[in-house]
Amino acid sequence: MAIRNIREIGDPVLNKKCKEVTEMTQRIRDLIGDMFDTMYEANGVGLAAPQVGILKRIVVIDTTGEDPLVLINPRIVESDGEQTGLEGCLSVPGKSGNVTRPNHVKAVYLDENMNECEIEGEELLARAICHELDHLEGELYVDKVEGNLMDNSEIQETEEG
């Protein structure tokens, strides 16, 4: 597998809607492997295909380091509750901001064998699912930030102080 370049804010590909995946091909399998390698190399918990320049409805998520998820053509079918917390993005390096998301989501998606699946997530997993699915619609978390974006070094100083 390979590490791919992560597109950063300002790259027009990040503002485009992605197309559905209609069949599993070796190219798609390779892309998924590359996405995991890229995400882990960048110390992320999620990555969407447009972040590596591919306009396909594919996301990878691993919030625990032990439970990698591949969601193809995902869509949220249920959400409830509310959580507000700091959120960052591999496509917006060095910045974070407070974003309110559902505390619980249920999503349907296709797995790597194109079988329909369902996942429910709370807290960080719910946040990751919402964040990554936004990417598939051409949306970045910075548009949902409450208040100002903060430099990550400022956040560390606040936590240490």
Annotated active-site positions, please? 132
Q: According to DSSP H, which parts of the chain are helical? A: 26-41, 123-136, 152-160
> Tokens representing 4?
């791919």
Torsional sign, CA 135, 139, 145, 149: positive
Q: How far apart are CA 2 and CA 77, in angstroms?
A: 33
Complete edge-to-edge strand list for the sheet that includes strand 58-61: 46-48, 58-61, 69-80, 104-110, 116-122
